[in-house]
Amino acid sequence: MMYAFRAAVVCLLTISTFACGAQDKQNADITLRLWAFGREGEEVQQLIPEFERRHPGIRVRVQQIPFSAAHEKLLTAYVGDATPDLAQIGNTWIPEFAALGALEPLDAWVNRSEVVDSADYFGGIWSTNTVGDTLFGVPWYVDTRVIFYRKDILARAGYPRMPTSWSEWRRAMEAVKRELGPNRYAIFLPTNEWAQPYVFGMQAGSTLLDSAGRHGVFSDLAFRRAFEFYVGLFQSGLAPALGNVEIANVYQEFARGRFAMWISGPWSLVEFRKRIPAELQDDWGTAPLPAPGGDSAGVSLAGGSSLALFRASRNKEAAWQLVEFLSSRTQQEEFYRLTGDLPARTDAWQATGLAQDRQARAFWLQLHRVRPIPKVPEVELIATRVFESAEQVIRGGRPTGAALEALDRDVDRILEKRRWMLDQRAAP
């Protein structure tokens, strides 16, 4: 059964590789296949000629894959033994592909490398690439969440600076809400996004899952505190109970003052500069996320994409050279100029002036305070269950305690297979 399925996928994939791969073979010794997604997949092609010039005998064929199809494409490629030599991989997917055994462990390669050194990277981001003690990816660009806010509105409400503790933040939101009046909100937190409840939970000190990743710990005190803070924002009318599909154009609404704060990622830096009207450009700012205590910035998500080698590749040496090339400081800077993606290397932040940039600075600060989400393959599925539980409380009026207990039961069911496998491995 399984083999039939595999065979079918193999068939389809080999047909397509033969069809499109044939003409590249003759004029180079090695043809590397690099898969990259969305805009990154488009822009990275501009860096390739320089690599090919420096490495005669290696040609690189970049295949650009839409982000929405990337995960499925990688999985089917693995099933069909048709993985590329290297690929961009969202760093939350690494545990999954590592569990599949699809990725090449990179520790030995990094130890030998003169270009890639973990000390040049943000620690929290680097650690998303390790599963157990093994490294499976090298960060390519980074991503985390910070607050985007309307400085003018906050100032009118009596807050010239973005608060740094939850309690002060909450008071500021109440003041902003009074300032804005009905049908306008202090903050927009899309109820169908998983990042916010996860981030609040991690800020409050929850590990989300227990240390072995066998059970959820969502009804524990730490997560419960965060969950109540989060749903409280909706219940007291500070945030609208809307998902991100229900707001047609977030940037427009932000410019209109429909809400004064929004938690978002680096892509919004580019979009804000492009889409917010010129007269408002001085009125928006960014800030690291507030923390429960307020003594230092709260933690946020360690996101972004990494470059990973595939175990099945026959050109690992050449593929690693491409990873090193793309990880060099100059190429990281160049890639930032092409895409606006925040560089993974901290020294590239200095040279591009990003670390000093008024609006990117919040990301610089935040990236030093990021924490990976639990490294189990089921983490994204669990994440959707978390925001759905929050939605049930926010929109369905379910009591918090009941929602969290049901969530823990649900997560336990999801992790049942994982527990069974861990036991199998421990038993033999």
Partner 1 sequence: MTVRAPSSAEQGKAAWLFLAPALFLIGGFFFLPVAASLLLSFTDFDIYAIADPDNLRLLGIGNYSELLATPLFWTALKNTLYFVLVGGPLTVAVSLGAALLVNARLVRLKSFFRTLYFAPFVTTLVAVAIVWRYLYHPEYGLLNYALGMVGIDPVDWLGDPRWAMPAIILLAVWKNFGYHMLIFIAGLQAIPEELYEAAYLDGAGPWRRFVHVTLPMLGPTLVFVALVTMIGFFQLFAEPYVMTQGGPLRSTTSLVLLMYEEGFRWWRLGYAAAVAFVLFLVILGAMLLGRRVRRGEVA
Footprint on this chain of partner 1 (rule: CB under 8 A) = 1-2, 4-5, 72, 75, 78-79, 96, 99-102, 191-192, 241-243, 245-246, 248, 377-378, 380-381, 388, 391-392, 395-396, 413, 417-418, 420-421
Q: Find the shortest distance in angstroms from Cβ 93 to partner 1.
A: 11
Contact 221, 242 (CB under 8 A): no
Helix (H) or strand (E) holding 63: strand 58-65
Helix (H, G, I), strand (E, B) or coil at 397: coil
Q: Which is nearer to partner 1, 15 or 155 (CB)?
A: 15
Rounded Cα distance between 260 and 176, Å, is 8
Q: Which is nearer to partner 1, 102 or 386 (CB)?
A: 102
Rounded Cα distance between 254 and 264, Å, is 12
Rounded Cα distance between 208 and 217, Å, is 5
Q: Which is nearer to partner 1, 102 or 233 (CB)?
A: 102
Cα dihedral 226, 231, 236, 242, rounded to 10, equals 140
Nearest CA-CA partner of 36 in 65, 16, 60: 65
Q: Find the shortest distance in angstroms from Cβ 192 to partner 1.
A: 6
CA angle 189, 193, 198 (to 5 degrees): 90
Q: Which is nearer to partner 1, 99 or 351 (CB)?
A: 99
| Sequence-distant (≥ 6) Cβ neighbours of residue 348 within 8 angstroms | 329, 332, 333, 336, 354
Nearest CA-CA partner of 177 in 253, 261, 271, 82: 261
Q: Find the shortest distance in angstroms from Cβ 77 to partner 1.
A: 12
Q: Which is nearer to partner 1, 334 or 410 (CB)?
A: 410
Residue 400, CA distances (Å) to 192, 230, 292, 397 in order: 17, 11, 19, 9
| Sequence-distant (≥ 6) Cβ neighbours of residue 397 within 8 angstroms | none
Q: Which is nearer to partner 1, 375 or 418 (CB)?
A: 418
Q: Find the shortest distance in angstroms from Cβ 395 to partner 1.
A: 5
Rounded Cα distance between 75 and 98, Å, is 12
Q: Which is nearer to partner 1, 157 or 403 (CB)?
A: 403
Q: Find the shortest distance in angstroms from Cβ 391 to partner 1.
A: 5
Q: Which is nearer to partner 1, 232 or 243 (CB)?
A: 243
Contact 136, 97 (CB under 8 A): yes
